[in-house]
Chain A
Amino acid sequence: MLFKSLIAAWLAVHLMQSVHAQEAAPTFSGTTLNTGQPIDLEGLKGKVVLVDFWASWCPPCLASLPAYNKIRQEIGTSDFEIIAINVDEDIEDGLKFLEKHPVDYPVLADPDGQIGIPYGIRNLPRSFLLDRDGRIIATYKSFKAGDEVKLQQEITALLEQ
């Protein structure tokens, strides 16, 4: 059992490709947890996109989700979108979190790492800023109060390019 688990973990890690700035973001699609609508990253080309990985057990995510929601409200969604990827093993935990801390942007569930592993997610929260062509422009590790100011400036600058 342990041996099988180790092999599975080894495979997961070796499939994990650490994504780098200026590289095309790994694509994904799915049905959102909070709105039930289908969403496809490819379909968002032409917009600046923030892909945010989070979980209900991640303390900084308590602050990052509302902060990102506020950024989205202030910038609008005509040229910008946020996609949140919840990685809770139990999807119910993610849903309970969203009941207490609702967000307007789409949230996908990724309990098995099908999205997270290609993005090389090791710690949470982890966010990726994509330009209009779907290339990764910046990566953000963790989150603390005040980080949203710099992030909003970078999104605005990217929108003006």
Chain B
Amino acid sequence: MIFRPLKPAFGLLLYFGLQNLASAATCSCAGVPLLASIDTSAKEKGQLFITYNAENHQISDLVSGSKDVPDETDRDRHSFSQVLSASYAMTDRWSVSALVSYVRHSRDIGSSFLGKTTSSGVGDSVLLLRYTPVFITPFSRHEVSLGLGSRIPTGDDDYTDVFVLSEDMQPSTGAFGGILWTSYSYAFNQAATLQFNTSANYTYNGVNDREYRFGHEFNFAMGLGHSIGTRFSYSAAFRYRSTKPDRRSGFEIPNTGGKWVDFIPAVSYAVTDKLRLGLSGRIPVTRNLDGVLQFTTSYAYAFSASYAF
């Protein structure tokens, strides 16, 4: 607040300084783990799951193609996102999931306060309808699920800090998106304590009011999950993510888009029959990013709590 009177004076300096950095290295952040948060779904008729997920996402690795590049700007960029989701099973096969997010982006460049930018607010929401024609039971080892949904721009996409912030710093994308989602699980034993899980989703991003379109995104994850007793479980998965470059007014934005492979370990513990707590991480394995330079994920970790009604 004490810097507010200084904003006009430093505005242009800050703006042109950041513009130079931004054109040199934009950020492919995938800042908010919306679809990851929607993995906990209600599976039996009448079941309702409420899940809270908080993720801290550090986005300070500077990468050229697939090579790490020393960052001499002393830059620190991270996002903290909170996602509240609800999943309700209308029948044993049909369920609907909805989530809302609250996002805080922060970017520090150098040691001066001039380089500090933050934004926060309600982010995007998601509505997903799922159909599960095959599910794991004591008599079936397979589960297949299909989903169709929409990402809804429920938050601001014109957050201003002297100037309107760049799109990757906005709480919301400002555009609707279409989501296709599918998953398959195989239980190695009748008790389904050891499972192979795979899922894939594709998000088609629309154009926002500022003619900006985030690159369409494809995710594919596969891994193993193991339960010990009725309370403790852990999993390990690899996730491949690919995004097209962002576009403004139809023109490609340089230094956006790319391909990533992350390792995602997770543990969870059922405190009671209804309440389950979880921790997960996201560790980059390899990446090949478009353009000359991009800041991208250094690591992320998340806490989740889900309650079954």
Binding partners A and B: yes
Binds B, one of A43-51, A99-107, A110-118, A152-160: A110-118
Binds B, one of A5-13, A30-38, A67-75: A5-13
Binds A, one of B130-138, B215-223, B235-243: B130-138
CB 8 Å contact bits of B122-140 with A (1 = contact, 0 = none): 0000000000011111111
The answer to whether B45 and A55 touch across the interface, beta carbons within 8 angstroms, is no
Tell me which residues across on chain A come within 8 A of B44, comparing CB atoms.
Answer: 122-123
Docked complex Cα distance between A25 and B23 (Å): 69
The answer to whether B92 and A124 touch across the interface, beta carbons within 8 angstroms, is no
- Minimal beta-carbon separation of B47 from chain A (angstroms): 10
The answer to whether A122 and B273 touch across the interface, beta carbons within 8 angstroms, is no
Provide the main secondary structure of the chain B interface. loop
Of the four ranges (under 10, 10 to 19, 20 to 34, 35 or more), the interface on chain B belongs to: 20 to 34
Provide the main secondary structure of the chain A interface. loop
Docked complex Cα distance between A9 and B45 (Å): 19
Of the four ranges (under 10, 10 to 19, 20 to 34, 35 or more), the interface on chain A belongs to: 20 to 34
- Minimal beta-carbon separation of A120 from chain B (angstroms): 7
Q: Does A57 have its Cβ within 8 Å of any Cβ on chain B?
A: yes
**Could you tell me which residues of chain B, from 122 to 160, have a CB within 8 Å of some CB in chain A?**
133-142, 144
| Neighbour of A13 across the interface among B137, B191, B193, CB < 8 A | B137
| Neighbour of B137 across the interface among A10, A58, A122, CB < 8 A | A122
Tell me which residues across on chain A come within 8 A of B92, comparing CB atoms.
Answer: 16, 18, 120, 122
Tell me which residues across on chain B come within 8 A of A12, comparing CB atoms.
Answer: 137, 139-140
Docked complex Cα distance between A5 and B273 (Å): 32
The answer to whether A144 and B273 touch across the interface, beta carbons within 8 angstroms, is yes
- Minimal beta-carbon separation of A85 from chain B (angstroms): 10
- Minimal beta-carbon separation of A138 from chain B (angstroms): 14
| Neighbour of B191 across the interface among A55, A121, A144, CB < 8 A | A55
The answer to whether B191 and A57 touch across the interface, beta carbons within 8 angstroms, is yes
Q: Does B112 have its Cβ within 8 Å of any Cβ on chain A?
A: no
- Find the A residue at minimum CB distance from B184: A6
Known A18-B92, A57-B190, A120-B92; judge A13-B230 contact (CB<8 A).
Answer: no
| Neighbour of B230 across the interface among A10, A60, A87, A117, CB < 8 A | A60
- Minimal beta-carbon separation of B196 from chain A (angstroms): 12
- Minimal beta-carbon separation of B270 from chain A (angstroms): 12
Q: Does B70 have its Cβ within 8 Å of any Cβ on chain A?
A: no
The answer to whether B190 and A55 touch across the interface, beta carbons within 8 angstroms, is yes
Known A5-B141, A116-B138; judge A88-B190 contact (CB<8 A).
Answer: yes
- Minimal beta-carbon separation of B276 from chain A (angstroms): 14
- Find the B residue at minimum CB distance from A10: B134
The answer to whether A89 and B133 touch across the interface, beta carbons within 8 angstroms, is no
- Find the B residue at minimum CB distance from A5: B142
Docked complex Cα distance between A65 and B190 (Å): 20
Q: Does B282 have its Cβ within 8 Å of any Cβ on chain A?
A: no
Known A55-B191, A57-B191, A88-B190; judge A121-B144 contact (CB<8 A).
Answer: no
| Neighbour of B139 across the interface among A10, A14, A117, CB < 8 A | A117
Known A18-B92, A57-B190, A122-B43; judge A10-B133 contact (CB<8 A).
Answer: yes
CB 8 Å contact bits of B189-213 with A (1 = contact, 0 = none): 1110100000000000000000000
Q: Does B229 have its Cβ within 8 Å of any Cβ on chain A?
A: yes
Tell me which residues across on chain B come within 8 A of A144, comparing CB atoms.
Answer: 273
Tell me which residues across on chain B come within 8 A of A142, comparing CB atoms.
Answer: 273
- Minimal beta-carbon separation of A6 from chain B (angstroms): 5
- Minimal beta-carbon separation of B262 from chain A (angstroms): 27
Docked complex Cα distance between A142 and B230 (Å): 11
- Find the B residue at minimum CB distance from A126: B138
The answer to whether A13 and B273 touch across the interface, beta carbons within 8 angstroms, is no
Tell me which residues across on chain A come within 8 A of B136, comparing CB atoms.
Answer: 122
The answer to whether A13 and B138 touch across the interface, beta carbons within 8 angstroms, is no
| Chain A residues near B (Cβ < 8 Å) | 5-6, 8-10, 12-14, 16, 18, 55, 57-60, 87-89, 112-113, 116-117, 120-124, 142, 144
28 residue pairs A–B, Cβ–Cβ below 8 Å: A5-B142, A6-B142, A9-B140, A9-B141, A12-B137, A13-B133, A13-B134, A13-B135, A16-B92, A18-B92, A55-B138, A55-B190, A55-B191, A57-B193, A59-B229, A87-B139, A89-B190, A113-B137, A116-B137, A116-B138, A116-B139, A120-B92, A122-B43, A122-B92, A122-B135, A122-B136, A123-B137, A142-B273
